[in-house]
Amino acid sequence: MKFLTLALLPLALAACASTPPMMTMVDNASLPEAVRVPAGAQQKMWTAAAGEITYECREKKDMAGQFEWGFIGPVASLKNKAGAVVGKYYGGPTWEATDGSKVTGKQLAVAPAGAGNIPLQLVKTDPAMGMGSMQGISHIQRLQTQGGVAPAAACAMTNKGDRRQVAYQADYVFYGM
């Protein structure tokens, strides 16, 4: 019996190694089609972000005398499942790991996330800068968003130039091909 147990040990270890312990796996088939990653993309990392999005009261383009809260940029900490900080997210958009590697990218698609929440998002990344955990990342999803929409406060000539920070949370999921 001991022989059988020891013989199966490598299989058990391989099964455990297939899903990193600090990562929540995403079922892309359950997501809106617009934000699903391309076929063949493999999940490499999962993070929970908490931060702020800055908006500025400014005049609408091509609409003199009308004002809106315009997006300036985000700042957020990225944490793994255990709650350890593994990176940061900021304008660009840029995702930077604590090992110094980072990626930037361009939005491919969005999908609604419910009232009061910024949309879900799919980003195609540029090649990583620096060696580390961002090497080989090709796509990033923003999922499970909470908050982050433009302020409900009035935006008019009287407060033009005012900036407001709005709290938000989201999961950022990183994929490689």
Band (pLDDT 50/70/90 cuts) for residue 22 is low
Question: What is the model's pTM?
Answer: 0.85
- Give the ranges where the chain is alpha helix by DSSP (H): 2-17
* Predicted local confidence at residue 5, as pLDDT: 39
Band (pLDDT 50/70/90 cuts) for residue 161 is very high
Query: Which of the 8 DSSP states describes residue 35?
Result: G
Tokens coding 24:
């929540």
Band (pLDDT 50/70/90 cuts) for residue 64 is confident
CA-angle at 50, arms to 116 and 21, nearest 5°: 120
Cβ atoms of 35 and 121 closer than 8 Å: yes
Q: Give tens-digit pLDDT for 77-106.
A: 999 999 999 999 999 999 999 999 999 999
Q: Give tens-digit pLDDT for 102-152.
A: 999 999 999 999 999 999 999 999 999 999 999 999 999 999 999 999 999
Query: What's the distance, CA 93 to chain centroid?
Result: 10
* Predicted local confidence at residue 32, as pLDDT: 98
Domains in the chain: boundaries = 38-176
Distance CA 58, CA 163 (A): 10
